Structure 1
Amino acid sequence: MAASTKSVKDDESKSKHEQYCYIEATVTTGFENVAQEDVKEKTGCDVIARRGGIVIHLPVSGVRQVLNLGSIDNLRVRVNHETNFDFPDEEVACIRKLRQYVGKVDWSLGLEIWQQFYYFDQPVLVPTTIPADLGDPVLTDYAASIRARNEPKRKKRCTYRKKKSRRMETEICIEKDSEDTRIKIDVESSSLKETKNEELLGNISMETVEVELKNSLPCKTGHQMEIGNGNSPPPIGNSCPEEKKKINSHDPSKPSFRVTCIRNGEHSFDSMKAAANFGGAIHNLFGWNVDMKNYDIEVVLVIDGQELSVCIALTKESLHKRNLTHFGTTTLRPTIAYNMLRLCKIQKGDVVCDPMCGSGSIPIQAAVSWPEAYHIAGEISQKALPRTVDNVTCLNEKRRQDGKPCIQVETFRWNVYNLPLKSNLVDVFITDLVELDPRQTTGNCTRVPLQKWLELPS
């Protein structure tokens, strides 16, 4: 009895020293309560359901277990959270306050958790001293600057298209013979018309024709055109100068990052200004490399009214792509399929059937999460059913490499109006009732609307 009491006290003291964190997970809107039950059942942690997501409070040592949840799409660790940030009314004051807030964030906890999901060959350290000034606010209209930056490219493309269309509509070939010079003109119909040079040109000299023809063709730097058998015109200059390449210094010893802002509510600034200024302050603090595409760390700035959260993303793509490799036109997201399956309360030994399986999203997710049930799937489409088989094959190959048991899904080709199943054989029917475009179907391969499905005899 005494030993048991001592063990309990040891566990309590250990739990007091255990470091906890908040993980924000995105969930398909409408399934927040289902995901909340899923997390409580599998982890036993405290969960708060919010619109479009859930917030999980769990120990740092058990963060990676959230990857096994089938109901969530994306994960990020909450580094700092302010329930009342009190944004000023002036734009400059808001941006300056956001930049200064970077120095107050507890980056060490977020980077420690990030390193459980990703590997960087150099240590990612937090500066010991925070500079008093993290940069002045930048109030550039980024949307307008991007449009202005792309304007020369757009004009260049438009000019090239006009010249190309002019060249295609009117193609002039000048030929000189010993007797006379004829000019061939191709106008839209691609038919060549031959007329005498004197009748067409009148008093216009050949030099004038050459100059006009030269101006109608697209310019190429360092390219010299030759027209007819006459002398070549002078080389065309750089009328379309090449863009100057931007040279950015890249420090390979430091990770690259980007900032994404998710904003909801009325504020005196837009999301791009908030993300750019917050990212500029992070760059001044850490010296990390800025890369919007090939980034190592993604900092997520969530602003909802007067509420502010600073997070570090733990996933670079949605987790719904874990089990599928072949997608169709109406493939259901496996995370939605999982939440639907949880509503069915599948028990051990149940026969679960998806009579219109499509690419197999529902039966594959059911076989992964409820392996003790028997799963069958059917489809009439000649393209969809092989896609289901390919998805099962690819997933089993991946599971064999990971040392996991293969899943079992029986596939059949049938018509849903006449299922070849015995009465009372299936315990759970679940499917995605979506009508397809008749042009995308073969024969009578159309999905059944919900009303007709309910009218079918049992």
Structure 2
Amino acid sequence: MKVQVITEIDASVFKGLLDDDGDVCTLEATVPTGMEDVCVEEVRQKLNSEAVATTGRAFFDVLVQDIPKVLQLRSVENVNVVIYMQHNFPVTGAREESFASLYSLVEKPLWRKGVRAWQTVFGELPPQTFQHDSPLTIKFQEPNPLLDLCLMKKGTPVEVNLPEELKLLREQHGQGTQQPSKTNSKKKRKNKLNKDDDTSKVSGVSNSTENVSENRIPPSSSIESQDYSNASGITTANNVHSSSVTGQTSNMCSQTDPERKHESGSKVLENGLEQNDDGKSNSEDFTSTKDLSNCHDVKKLKISTEDLATPTANDLNITNNGGHVNHNSAAADDTGAKLSSESAKKDCTVPSFRVTCLRSGTEHAFGSQEAARQLGSAINDRFSWPVQLENYHIDVILNIATTFVYVALPLTREAMFRRNLVAFGPTNLRSTLSYSLMHLARPQPGDVILDHMCGGASIPIEGSISFPGTYHLGGDLDQRSVERARTNVDNIVLHKKQSLLVDIAQWDTTMLPLRDRCVDVVVSDLPFGRRSGSKLDNRVLYLRALKETARVTRPSSGRAVLLTHDRNSMIKNLRLVKKYWRNRSTRTINIGGLYAGVFLLHRTCELYSNIFTGKKPSTTEDSIKSSAEESTHHDA
């Protein structure tokens, strides 16, 4: 099946994006990269809908009342309802033009349909959600370059494309974040923690704040820009930008899974931003510091408030009505923060929100936090929804891929691949990926399915739940893995009250305590040779395991689905057992930034017979030589 690039999607094929009053909505489902066809087939079978697959995603139409059924899909990790999608969105021009386009974007999405879809999952929203629907009165929200420029890493496409006047301003007020080296990052963090007490005495900032940038704006700059910050709705803590208008993500309430966030292989800077190695993918989910209004040291923020300019009535009106929160570490006027916090608690007639921006491409002249602020400010101005970084109602996702833009509302607070395990080991396979591997094996009712290296029993548990009528055998050599597997099975049976046809045993995968030709399917996640095992060991282990599984599987009808990162060892060993196993296909998937291979094997009709007797080969060379002689004998 052809998997499109996300920028190639034709938005006109989705009926859910045509009007705001219809019963059909368009959903985005995230899936393991490389397993998109499994999701498409599951959507077709269970929802009777045709999905469009892109890398790591699938888009499809469903009825709003059928959304609970979507959340029962086994191959899906996260679900979002798409409320707007457009090609050739004008975001590659000048900064002001891009800001104006992003700010006016609030008038285009199907907000009411998105909220109806959201309510089918999370319940009713406050009654006056859309009562305050005001027209936009400004072209765009004025940015605050003093804060944003200090968050930009030097040398990134956005920083290089900045106008000359902003680059000069950057040189005057800060040099931007630097990528910490692996050897010094721990030492820097330790030194920062040791200096927190002294820093808090000078700047009046609580020690509990995290992800603090070392490149601090001088206090004079912060004082001069305080009125500017109040007007633009910018929250600062230790001079680290956190857009309260946009409601960008907080450490305390992240909806996405850490793995889903970090499968792209990005690096985390000390100020909480993420930047890919090549600098071309600038997908950011900015992590702000904890809301200082809830901090026990909030009184420390009241430093020299008499020396600061008293906020105008207009500023206070913006804070009250817009739900803006304003903190400043160098010169803190927390009046607006208190008013906003109190009003957000008292005002339960409208929902609270935040905005998360995911951006990729090198043609943009703005950062992800700036894009999120523009959309968040427009939502605040139009609907008067207050911003809450914690305990929010709605999370708005703005996804920008070059000139392709879409807006979505998440329907899952936690990734659905965590549904089965409670006991975790060094390596744990996602439930969604376990289902995809099992789906590729095409199990039938009555089949005996073997996972001879089961670890925490992710595959047997998911297989027994998703494919009723199949019997699963799991085992491992490590006693701790066996105990974790039994704990996970007991959790499903005793706590979730689901019956499982699963047995767990401790065994050596090269000498299985099973009779010949008793297994129909083998599905297993083999050691990658990184956290578990080594590539040198894999050369021997894979060969012996392939022979042993050939012995216990049924000739002609037996099949195996094997996942491994050490593809070279698998390919070489498959040549040595080609009389027993035929490689039907191999696909590449992405697991946490590692590109692993999934091998679909079919058992030949050849009966297993070990013609070599005597002492078992003790070394890698002896084992491979023995197998090569056996393969030569078979060919002759």
Structure 2 residue 331 is the aligned partner of structure 1 residue 260 = no
Q: Which runs of 5+ in 1 are unaligned?
A: 1-16, 163-240
Q: Deviations over 1:55-85 (max 9, x none)?
A: 0111112111111111111110001111232
Which residue pairs with 1:158 in the alignment?
A: 195
1:302/1:308 contact within 8 Å kept: yes
Note the C-alpha offset of 1:99.
0.9
341, 353, 362: which one pairs with 2:459?
A: 362
In 2, the alpha carbon distance for the partners of 1:85 and 1:130 equals 24
The one-letter code matched in structure 2 to 1:311 is A
Report the CA distance shift for 1:28/1:435 in structure 2 as closer, same or farther (over 3 A). closer
Mapping for residues 24-423 of structure 1, pairs under 5 Å: 24-87=28-91, 89-120=93-124, 122-123=126-127, 125-127=129-131, 129-133=133-137, 136-141=140-145, 142=147, 144=149, 157-158=194-195, 242-244=300-302, 246-247=337-338, 248-249=340-341, 250=344, 251-265=347-361, 266-400=363-497, 405-423=498-516
Q: What do residues 394-434 of structure 1 show as CA deviations (whole Å, max 9, x unaligned)?
A: 2223433xxxx422211111111110011111101111011
Q: Which has the larger radius of gyration?
A: 1
Structure 2, unmatched stretches of 5+, are 1-20, 153-173, 178-189, 200-298, 303-333, 552-636
3-state SS of 1:290 partner: coil
Number of positions where the alignment pairs a residue of Structure 1 with one of Structure 2: 355
RMSD: 3.1
Partner SS for 1:55: strand
State the Cα deviation string for residues 424-447 of structure 1 (Å, max 9, x = none): 111011110114679x79xxx999
Partner of 2:67, secondary structure, is: helix
TM-score using structure 1 length: 0.70
Alpha-carbon deviation of 1:453?
A: 3.2
Instruction: Report the 3-state secondary structure (helix = DSSP H, G, I; strand = E; otherwise coil) of the residue aligned with 2:445.
Output: coil
| CA distances 1:342-399 after superposition (whole Å, capped 9, x unpaired) | 0000001000111111111100000110121111111121211111111112222343
Alignment of 1:427 onto 2:431? no
AA aligned opposite 2:123: Y
Q: Distance in 1 between matches of 2:58 and 2:120?
A: 21
Paired letter, 2:84:
N
Displacement, 1:18?
Answer: 6.5
2:496 aligned counterpart, secondary structure: helix
TM-score (norm 2): 0.52
Distance (Å, rounded) in 2 between the aligned partners of 1:30 and 1:159: 45
Aligned partner of 2:545: which letter?
Answer: W
Q: Give the equivalent residue in structure 2 for 1:453.
A: 545
Q: Judge conservation of contact 1:357–1:377 (CA < 8 Å) in 2.
A: yes
Would the aligned equivalents of 1:28 and 1:336 in 2 still touch at CA under 8 Å? yes
Taking a change above 3 Å as real, the CA distance of residues 392 and 270 of structure 1, as seen in their structure-2 partners, is same
Match for 2:417: what amino acid?
Answer: H
Bigger shift: residues 268-277 or 46-55: 268-277
**Compared with structure 1, are the counterparts of its residues 63 and 394 closer, same or farther at alpha carbon in structure 2 (3 Å cutoff)?**
same
Question: For residues 133-173 of structure 1, what are the alpha-carbon distances to aligned partners after superposition, in whole Å with 9 as ceiling and x for unaligned?
Answer: 267323235555569899xx9878427589xxxxxxxxxxx
Q: Secondary structure at the match of 1:410?
A: strand
In structure 1, the partner of 2:613 is none
Identity of aligned pairs, percent?
Answer: 32
> CA offset at residue 102 of structure 1?
0.3
| 2:31 and 2:58 in contact (8 A); partners too | yes
Secondary structure, in 3 states, of the residue corresponding to 1:36? helix
